Each structure stands twice: as C-alpha cells, then as structure tokens.
Amino acid sequence: MSKRSAIWLLVLCLVFVLAGCSSDAGQTAVPADPGEEPSGQAENGYDFPDIRFFDASLLDGSASTGEELFAGKDVTVINCWATWCPPCLEEMDELAAFAKTLPDNVQLITYCVDGTQHRDECSRVLEEAGFEGTTMISANGDFTTLIEQMQYVPTTLFVDSVGCQLCDSLIGSPTDLAAAYTECINAGLKSLGKGTL
C-alpha cells in the first residue's frame, strides 16, 4: 500500500502546487484577516499624510483628481474598504444611510482598495447597500503613500477641501457608526470655524 499511495499522493500534491502557481496572483496572497476584533483593527491614524495630490479612477469609469473630489466641501469622509473584508461589508448599509443624512458641505465617498480587480463585486455591494456617492477604485500620488501606511480596513479618513487631515482617522467598524462619524466631522467643522452637524 504505502509505496503506491505515497507516489499518488506526491503526484496529487504536485498538481495542487502547480495549480496554485497558475491561479490569479490576487488570490494566493490574500491577507488573512486575523479577526482579533470584531470590526478590524486599529492603527495610529494621526501619522497618515495629507492627501492633496493624486489622480483617481472612479467606479463609474470616469477619472478625477484630489482637488476635484474635495473641492467645495468643508469635510470629506473617505471610507476605505475591501470586498474581502467582512466587517467592511457589514457596515455598508449603515454607511449608506448615514451618507444620505449629510448636509451639502459634507460628503462621504468610499475607496474600494480592491475595486480595480473586483469591480463587479464592488458595484454589487454598494448597490445592495444603497450607497449613491462617489467611489474610487484606484488612486496614485499622495494616496499611494497613505495606502502603504494603512494596515487595516475599514479605515475612515476625514479631510478638508484640499485633502488635509482634519481628525484622527477611524480604524475598524465603530459600534455606532453614525455617532462616531458625527463626532469626527464635528471636530473637523469646529476646527474650520463652521457650524457643526
């Protein structure tokens, strides 16, 4: 038994290894979400750089820039998420509902970090949640630096009309999303001397 079985097993395992090599690279290096916390993990938000200069591709197929995206809004909330991240998906309904309550001078946009590779899934998730705002699927420049420093999704950033950080970014999915976002937005508005929500 042992000799023949061992040879077959060896063949089978080589097939598996080779099949692994041929599969899409995005799948072989999926980061294992450690799930130590129910809603992702935290990182010091305050060392994130400002995000003033970058070009972005949007989910609807158009192109934009940082200046364009943030112009005319006192506060822009940027929720960074991924299609493989369960806590991100779970908060999406709440996020979409919150976005609809915002006044004209505050906007909420999302950045789907794997949106380029998984465009359809990204659209489906946002559609199901009823999110109607802007979604970026790739960005370069200052955003590249930011993403390199970002260790967890969801991470939510709060910037002013030129992309400067207004408030410590939120790491993970807060238990009460609306309250946590409102607090950060108000801190931002206050520092700009504007009326709070």
Partner 1 sequence: MANRKKTPAEAAQRKAEAKRLGIQACFAALLNGYAAGFVKGKIFTGATKGVCVPVLNCYSCPGALGACPIGSLQAVAGGRGRSISFYILGVLMLFGLAFGRLLCGFACPFGLLQDLLARIPVRRRKVPEYIDRPARKIKYVLLACVLILPAAVSAAKGSAASPYFCKYICPAGTLEGGLPLLIANAQLRAMAGALFTWKALVLAAVIIGAVLIPRFFCRYLCPLGAFYSLFSRFALYRMELDASSCIGCGKCEEVCPMAVRVTRELENSPECIRCGRCKAVCPAGAICTGFDLPGINKKETAEF
Task: Candidates 9, 63, 71, 178: give the one binding partner 1 (CB under 8 A).
Answer: 9
**Cα 111 to Cα 122: distance, rounded to the nearest angstrom:** 10
Task: Candidates 66, 163, 172, 188: give the one binding partner 1 (CB under 8 A).
Answer: 172
Contact 139, 112 (CB under 8 A): no
As beta bridge partners, residue 111 has 80, 136
Query: What is 29-60 written as a DSSP string?
Result: T------SSBTB----GGGPPP--S-EEEETT
Closer of 30 and 178 to partner 1 (Cβ): 30
Residue 154 interacts with partner 1 (CB under 8 A): yes or no: no
Residue 39 interacts with partner 1 (CB under 8 A): yes or no: yes
Closer of 34 and 193 to partner 1 (Cβ): 34
Instruction: Identify residues 85-144 at the interface with partner 1 (CB under 8 A).
Output: 85-86, 89, 118, 121, 125
- Strand, coil or helix: what is 77? strand
**Cα 192 to Cα 169: distance, rounded to the nearest angstrom:** 17
Residues in contact with partner 1 by CB under 8 A are 2-3, 5-7, 9-10, 12-21, 23, 27-39, 41-45, 83-86, 89, 118, 121, 125, 148, 151, 168, 171-172
